[in-house]
Structure 1
Amino acid sequence: MRFLPRPSSNAKLAKMSLCASVGLAALMGSQMFTASAQDAEEEADNSERRLNAVVVEATRRAGTTVQDVPVSVTAFDAALLEDTGVARLNDIEQIAPSVQIAQTESAASGTSISIRGIGTGSNNPGFEPAVGVLIDGVYRTRTGIALSELPELRSIEVLRGPQGTLFGRNTSAGVVSINTAGPQFDPEATLGVSAGNYGMYAAEAMVTGPIADNIATRVDIRYRERDGYIDDVNSGRELNNLNRFLMRGQMLFEEGDASLRVIADYGQTDEDCCIGVNLLQGPTGAAVNTAAAFAGLQGFANARPEDLKVALSPNRDIRDDVEEWGISGEYKNQIGTISLTSITSYRDWQADRAQDVDFSGIDRAYRDGTDITDKVFTQEVRLQDTWGDLDWLVGGFYMNEELGYTDTIRTGSQANLYTDLISAGATANPLVPTGFQLTGSLGPAVPTLFVSLPFDTNGDGVPGDPALRIAPGVPAGLPSYFVPGLVDGGGQNSDVFEVKTNAAALFTHNEYMVTDRLTATAGLRLNYEEKEIAYDLTSVAPSCDFFFTADGQSVLQQLGAINALDLALLSCNPAINSEYNGSDNDSFDETNLSGTAKLAYDFTDDFMAYVSYSRGFKSGGYNLDRSGFDSVLFGGNGAQPTDLQFDSETVDSYELGWKSSFNALNATLNGAIFFQDVQDFQENFFTGTNFRVINSDVESYGLELDASIIPADGLTIQGGYAYTKAERQGDVIVPLGNGQNQVLAQGGTQLSLTPEHVLTASGTYLYDISPNLTALFHLNARYNSEHITSAATAGIADNDAYTLVGGRIGLKTADGKWEFSIFGENITDEYYNLASFAVPEQTGTIAVYPGIPTMYGAELKVNF
């Protein structure tokens, strides 16, 4: 889509890119935008192409560049992406200052993207992203689904702020649009190999060319493997490795004005990911270390986080495996003067996870065979034309998604031992230095916390009720009373959730040229969403079953009297609470209007300013976690499907931006000042006992700058700056019952993983050694100011300011036959945290997910 052309404009960079696109399209006789834009960029000179003259689809109209559209967008062409080493979605953070990417215990389901501080982070597949990711126009329903290895890229666009009018559902914070290289009618083939530290090696192959006068094909195959960089001191395993395979085939049909691009792909990952390392041991650390020592293991690694060492249970698997495939078809045609675009897709994505969820060397709890499946069909149709001064577009979108989630949090062989060690430590006193145990796993040397009284104390007519041994007036020597312990391999076996989503939308986006220099834009989207949940939950937890009995309720009351309910939670954690066993279902639907209104004015041929309002919408959903229910045992009203539901999120965004070119200096400078009011911002909090979804209000405002310049022949410098304040508008509170509340996050504080200041810079220098040989020198850097990594660990696991530096040095022939380079990521070996968390059931213990250390290697590509 293009912003309405400016008849008097003679901006050199935009005209070169547009002329190249039009000329090549005429030569090929094709109306297909993706092919013509790709070839146009290949024809353009590198230096000029990088001065924000990348052809973008920010307004869903063909032939527009970054400088043409009244949208806050940063685009990266194939050359810059290759120089920077962008091969996966999480690499773009290095060159896009407004983007922040976090990864927790799973790359498949625990990766999130935020733009301008707004994003959604959780390992729970019930959460959908606030930043939409599209690959070749196909919407990916979860961020992790877009993390697979990518083929050769044509461009990446980062659109900041709500983009719901044109790009559809769940783009309330922005869009990352990835465009891959398409089939060519000129035969070409590429072979590439690379190797590096941590045992990294990769291989890729590509072949493209015609199989008929009007049919071209392309096949890409990529494989990447790398050893892990975090060591398990108990087993010697190397964790956080890479093992990824991609096979992708494309076919392009052209006939007159019509074109059809079909893409089919298959991807697979087989990785031991993702591991958090210990930062701080709380008062329960002694129990962790003692329990692990009983098995001859370390409870925590004797190391700092930057040492990249962890202590886990050797008998528990760590895996994060994904298998996916998909097919899409993009059809384009001219119906008279009307441009028709239709994109149809189907994707099947499956993840299999296993992890040690106590994050230590004790065998307390683990996941085994946790499965996520996501089957998605999407269809989008757009019609666009220009009538006089009006450039109009209308379209429709439909999505059907079937999400399946089978969770298996199971109790380990030392679950009762850990509970009893905590109990003994909490109740130790001068009269009984050993303290008292709860379940009896410590043997006869340690007395039990409860005794069995020979009379009825709670009025149920049954003698032998339990009482605290340490309670006043309870004599010693009475029979021991043990709380039934957890079962090795018990817990969730298993919890099955199914969520079906039907989403439909009608939208229009119209640009009207009021004068030769003033353009008004109006867009509107009507969204309808319908979600249905069904679940079947099964947990084996004898401790929870016991607490439902009259005697068990008496135990809970007595523990509450001495403020030791944490002991009950250790033996009946909400994640395995059998109170919630059973089946149920629920559904809801919602209708929402989103849209945009803009005014753009060309003050000169090289300076355009715009003011805009946009409203974004992110649908509500269900928290797929049994711990989200209200427990009767602990003051709630019992499990109900509505306990899991959370509200939709809306964003009202106001923006003042500009696009400027300085042709005499070979430079561009673009910027935007923004304010975003986010209502019912969706967050998943760990309350200390369970995971709850909380809706709250947030304001985000700031300044963004993008600049580029060619100060000398062969030298291109690009940079970006983002100042972002993303503040909570009130305390985030969860009720505890009895009129008490818990504050999970303070109002007025910055959202986690949101630096106030981010600065990115990259420079590329091409030097002709001889007429046939060119040297490449590339350097890129990203600076993040200090910021918190989670609300629960604020002030403890914060990131200090840090800078990540990457680079590439290479040689390539003028005819493009071969290219050799050496590269590095985080070459100064800067330590930083991707995220942090308070470890469940280990009060005061904090763990962090470290960033990637220094990676380097060499790459050779040969073109035929």
Structure 2
Amino acid sequence: MIKSSPRTLRPSLLAATIALSFAAAVPQGLAQQADDAQAPDSKPAKEGLETIVITAQKRAQNLQEVPVAVTAFTGDEMSESVIKDIYDLQTNVPGLGAFQSQSATNSSFSIRGVGTSSQNFGLESSVGLYVDGVYRARQNSMINNLVDVEAVEVLRGPQGTLFGKNTPSGAVLIRTVKPSHDGDDSFVEATVGNYGLLNLSGATSFSAIEDVLAFRVTAFSSQRDGIISDVTFGDDVINDRDRWGARLQALYTPNDDLTLRVIADYAEIDEICCGAPVQVSNFMAREIPGKFGSDAFLAGPPFNATVLNGGDDFFDRVTAVSFLPESRMKDRGLSAELTYDINDNYTLVSISALRKFDSYDTIDSDFTQAELFGTTNDASQESFSQELRIDYTSENLNAIIGAYYFTQDLDLDYSLFTDTYFNEFYLANFQGALDDLFNGINGLSAATGGLIAPVADAAPAGTGFDHRAEQEHKSYAIFGQFDYQLNDQWTLTAGLRYTDEDKELSTVFEENLPGGTPFPTFFNSIGDPTVPESIVPGTLIYGAGVAGAVLQGIALGQIDIMTPEGQQALQALVPFQTPGWGFQALGATTATRPDINATLPDDQITGTLKLSYQPDNNTLWYASVGTGYKSGGTNTDRIANGFEPIFDAETSTSYELGLKKDFPEQDVRVNFAAHHTTVDDFQANTFTGNGFNLQNAGDYEINGFELETVWLPTDNLEVKLSYALVDAEYKRFERGNCWVAYTWHTGIVDPGQESTDPANPNPYCNRSGDRPGGEPKNYAVLSVKQHFELSDDIYAYVLAEYSHTGEVILDGSNDPYAVQDSYNVLNLRFYMNFSDYDTDVILWGRNVTDEDYINRTNFNTPIQEGKMNAYVAEPATFGITVKKRF
């Protein structure tokens, strides 16, 4: 028999104590039952499978009796697993995706193939993120350390009824440890590891008025060197960790019927993030001999940049940039949760919250050592939310009815700025094509002693392409859901939600040349000099042709510049004598754009219907249909002509068939859920190399299933297997991104290109039938845990966790170069509990085989056709964690 430590239940019993006793959110009787089930000073009631209590339907229920696909963790499990932040959760949650990209303040989450990039501030999350019942509007606010957490639940499928801001793919619910009066839940914890990792955290509760008023203080900090080196700035400088935070709580319980919990929290991040080494170089085309790209001339003067090869060198984790990326974030909030038991049947719950989130990041957005251009994002968000509901509980009926209000103000200041050598970079792209014209104008200027101006800088350094986006957002909702027990075996669940959304959106675009010179508007496209019919008035090639003809006329004596006619002819040279004349022709990112002002009113009815069949205490069958929704908005980036800056709301419908089955005699648990999900007007966001293409993709379909099993073959051995199949594709996406890198290197045209004129391709391609970016079709994780006693007072276990991630399409264009092959990751852990000292010691390793893989996304390098960069995953990490309770 395995002995449990006084304050740590035996982990083998399905992570014993996943009971989530959310007393403030459930009737007092249910809450007390949950508390009794997980009393920390008692041993498990019996060996075998444990009861897991969750609140996925906003009341305490046995996981095996809830018709929802849910994965749940306790805070102790997360601590033992050395889960540092929400990104690490995906290892143990089938169907969950979470990854970081451009900066530490940009994070993306998905469930069952439906997710949202945070690269565009006009987007809301497809995955609802909640901490202590409060909706977090910005995905980025969730990336800080998960410390002093009581439990985490991941709900898969649309959440269109009960949870705050209606979401189309699922929800992540995080509940922190609440204050206590006895103070025996205090702890300090320290983790040290390679790459200079040092994590410190601690929490303590104390009673101000016995059984009436208690407080809890939590604090943490996390420091680590980077995992990416730079040829100029040194080793291990990028993707570091530098973050800290604190939380102060008060719990007021003046009587048995009333509970008030107030939480104030604050967290900061200040990091060098994120590195994106070269994945595919364009020094020379892979399949077209003699074709050279931007890397070829960046390696020479005046740039003299270090050019990286990409390919196999990508996993050396080395970059060459002109300045290091910076990411800063401040997240803070104040919430109050009031629970009042009106009588034995009715409970009133109110959750109010104020939140403020600020982020700033600046990156070398040419991703080269040449000083070409960079970008900054400076954003702030303020929100207020109020939930008010009545919970009803009786013998055969449980019901919730409520209202929800959410409002936020979102401001974004964005700037793309040119650096020292951008003009030379621009001209290198036209090397030879315009040399005769430039030489002619400069020669004429010299011959006239400067009376006629020379060629001006086409793209001068210090130019800023700025925009300010503002959004005022109000959302109202009323909702209700009931569970009615038809008889001892059948239960009907039904819910409905009405949501009303109103957004006022404004984006002002500016182009600011150095010294306040007016921005030129001469040229709007490049054209193709080999196809005369593509050269139209207003294009750069047409203007160059007219100016060249004037110079030839002057050289032949056909134009006398001293005459009025000659002076008129010289006007053809003026565009090339005006600073910034090249920006209009460069692309949408640097061209003038009209401002955006829009009001987006919308409303939606969503809900759920479930039928559950429980023939015995160990079996639950259920069938459900649910719908979800998130509102539309405006693209806050500069995008190409042909793409609409306003995008519509996204809606989803999911059909699910599930089985939850325990085999007590064999100590086996099997939870299975098969689903079919359709998403209408899916909000797709993909980087094109010249800005983000954010638009409604059309119809998106996902078929799949999740399997979660637990087997306890002996008292000392635990085996878990989880698997998710996510078969997702765009059923209709007619205006998606086109291949860039693969076409440049091979000359093979994207099969989605529907233009039959090679000289005038569409700026978009048909992606119908393609897979979405960042979503593996197959994911599985197997863990084996062996328990043993080192002595009477030292309990221990060893655990091996092996995960398999199937092939991932890294980019929405499905470029053949944007494919990550399947990969496998091994995590190991050795845990010891010293009961006499109430102390845990954990030796751990993550990705111990140092598997190399791209972290879910790559992108076309800005304005460097044929080149790709990508975000690398963490290498092997090792460390030791010590946790002392008192």
TM-score interval (norm. to shorter): 0.7 to 0.9
Q: How does 1:224-235 map to 2 (within 5 A)?
A: 224-235=222-233
TM superposition shift of 1:686: 3.4
Output the amino acid matched with 2:680. Answer: Q
Determine the C-alpha separation between the residues in 2 that align with 1:21 and 1:357. Answer: 45
Does 2:239 correspond to 1:217? no
Output the amino acid matched with 2:542. Answer: Q
2:714 is matched with which residue? 712
Distance 1:45 1:748, change over 3 A: farther
Determine the C-alpha separation between the residues in 2 that align with 1:822 and 1:415. Answer: 50
User: Residues 258-278 of structure 1, C-alpha deviation per residue, up to 9 Å, x if partnerless?
Assistant: 111111111011101112110
Does 2:831 correspond to 1:810? yes
Determine the C-alpha separation between the residues in 2 that align with 1:647 and 1:509. Answer: 28
Determine the C-alpha separation between the residues in 1 that align with 2:132 and 2:765. Answer: 40
Q: How does 1:12-23 map to 2 (within 5 A)?
A: none
Determine the C-alpha separation between the residues in 2 that align with 1:559 and 1:115. Answer: 52
Q: How does 1:284-363 map to 2 (within 5 A)?
A: 286-291=293-298, 293-294=300-301, 297-302=304-309, 304-313=313-322, 316-336=323-343, 337-363=345-371
Determine the C-alpha separation between the residues in 2 that align with 1:832 and 1:47. Answer: 44
The percentage of counterpart residues that share the same residue type is 29
8 Å contact from structure 1 (residues 300, 310) kept in 2: no
Output the amino acid matched with 2:161. Answer: T
8 Å contact from structure 1 (residues 826, 855) kept in 2: yes
Q: 1:618 aligns with which of 630, 637, 642?
A: 630
Q: How does 1:780-791 map to 2 (within 5 A)?
A: 780-791=801-812
User: Aligned with 2:782: secondary structure?
Assistant: strand
Instruction: Say which is worse superposed, 372-381 or 767-776, in terms of deviation.
Output: 767-776
Distance 1:769 1:384, change over 3 A: same
TM-score (norm 2): 0.83
Determine the C-alpha separation between the residues in 2 that align with 1:37 and 1:306. Answer: 48
Distance 1:48 1:720, change over 3 A: farther
Does 2:662 correspond to 1:653? no
Q: 1:512 aligns with which of 484, 499, 520?
A: 484
Determine the C-alpha separation between the residues in 1 that align with 2:867 and 2:782. Answer: 37
Distance 1:229 1:289, change over 3 A: farther
Determine the C-alpha separation between the residues in 1 that align with 2:33 and 2:265. Answer: 23
TM superposition shift of 1:282: 2.2
Does 2:606 correspond to 1:606? no
TM superposition shift of 1:168: 3.2
8 Å contact from structure 1 (residues 570, 841) kept in 2: no
1:241 is matched with which residue? 240
RMSD in angstroms over aligned alpha carbons?
Answer: 3.3
8 Å contact from structure 2 (residues 263, 335) kept in 1: yes
TM superposition shift of 1:781: 2.5
TM superposition shift of 1:193: 1.8
8 Å contact from structure 2 (residues 328, 359) kept in 1: yes
Does 2:497 correspond to 1:488? no
TM superposition shift of 1:747: 1.7
Determine the C-alpha separation between the residues in 1 that align with 2:636 and 2:628. Answer: 24
TM superposition shift of 1:538: 2.1
TM superposition shift of 1:78: 2.8
Gaps of 5+ in 1: 1-12, 425-434, 438-445, 455-463, 465-478, 562-566, 631-635, 637-641
TM superposition shift of 1:307: 0.3
Q: How does 1:323-472 map to 2 (within 5 A)?
A: 323-336=330-343, 337-368=345-376, 370-387=377-394, 389-424=396-431, 435-437=432-434, 447-448=436-437
Q: 1:68 aligns with which of 50, 56, 65?
A: 65
Output the amino acid matched with 2:126. Answer: A
TM superposition shift of 1:127: 1.2
Output the amino acid matched with 2:349. Answer: T
8 Å contact from structure 2 (residues 246, 267) kept in 1: yes
8 Å contact from structure 2 (residues 281, 309) kept in 1: no
Distance 1:192 1:731, change over 3 A: closer
Does 2:270 correspond to 1:270? yes
Q: 1:724 aligns with which of 723, 726, 733?
A: 726
1:553 is matched with which residue? 538
Determine the C-alpha separation between the residues in 1 that align with 2:805 and 2:656. Answer: 23
User: Aligned with 1:182: secondary structure?
Assistant: coil
Distance 1:710 1:116, change over 3 A: same
2:150 is matched with which residue? 154
Output the amino acid matched with 1:605. Answer: N
Instruction: Say which is worse superposed, 222-231 or 327-336, in terms of deviation.
Output: 327-336
User: Residues 170-199 of structure 1, C-alpha deviation per residue, up to 9 Å, x if partnerless?
Assistant: 420111111222212222332222211111
Output the amino acid matched with 2:676. Answer: F
Q: 1:587 aligns with which of 595, 599, 606?
A: 599
TM superposition shift of 1:787: 2.0
Output the amino acid matched with 2:665. Answer: A
User: Aligned with 2:769: secondary structure?
Assistant: coil
Q: How does 1:635-654 map to 2 (within 5 A)?
A: 643-654=644-655
Determine the C-alpha separation between the residues in 1 that align with 2:442 and 2:176. Answer: 74
TM superposition shift of 1:487: 2.6
8 Å contact from structure 2 (residues 829, 843) kept in 1: yes
Output the amino acid matched with 1:164. Answer: G
User: Residues 463-499 of structure 1, C-alpha deviation per residue, up to 9 Å, x if partnerless?
Assistant: x9xxxxxxxxxxxxxx99746422322122x421111
Output the amino acid matched with 2:93. Answer: A
Distance 1:503 1:341, change over 3 A: same
Determine the C-alpha separation between the residues in 2 that align with 1:714 and 1:677. Answer: 43
Does 2:728 correspond to 1:756? no
User: Aligned with 1:124: secondary structure?
Assistant: coil
8 Å contact from structure 2 (residues 129, 136) kept in 1: yes
1:836 is matched with which residue? 858
Output the amino acid matched with 1:89. Answer: I
The number of aligned residues is 784
TM superposition shift of 1:612: 0.5
Distance 1:32 1:402, change over 3 A: farther
8 Å contact from structure 1 (residues 651, 679) kept in 2: yes
Q: 2:188 aligns with which of 179, 186, 191?
A: 191
Determine the C-alpha separation between the residues in 2 that align with 1:510 and 1:203. Answer: 44
TM superposition shift of 1:305: 1.0
8 Å contact from structure 2 (residues 27, 341) kept in 1: no
Determine the C-alpha separation between the residues in 2 that align with 1:820 and 1:39. Answer: 27
Output the amino acid matched with 2:655. Answer: Y
2:550 is matched with which residue? none
1:8 is matched with which residue? none
TM-score (norm 1): 0.85
Determine the C-alpha separation between the residues in 2 that align with 1:589 and 1:805. Answer: 49
8 Å contact from structure 1 (residues 21, 40) kept in 2: no
Q: 1:115 aligns with which of 70, 88, 111?
A: 111
Determine the C-alpha separation between the residues in 1 that align with 2:47 and 2:357. Answer: 36
Output the amino acid matched with 2:859. Answer: F
1:99 is matched with which residue? 96
Does 2:608 correspond to 1:596? yes
1:527 is matched with which residue? 499
User: Residues 699-718 of structure 1, C-alpha deviation per residue, up to 9 Å, x if partnerless?
Assistant: 10111111112222233322
Distance 1:861 1:39, change over 3 A: farther
Distance 1:157 1:47, change over 3 A: farther
Output the amino acid matched with 1:274. Answer: C
Determine the C-alpha separation between the residues in 1 that align with 2:822 and 2:869. Answer: 19
2:882 is matched with which residue? 860
TM superposition shift of 1:224: 0.6
Output the amino acid matched with 1:545. Answer: P
TM superposition shift of 1:36: 7.3
TM superposition shift of 1:38: 6.1
Determine the C-alpha separation between the residues in 2 that align with 1:33 and 1:500. Answer: 40
Determine the C-alpha separation between the residues in 1 that align with 2:197 and 2:664. Answer: 43
Determine the C-alpha separation between the residues in 2 that align with 1:661 and 1:347. Answer: 42
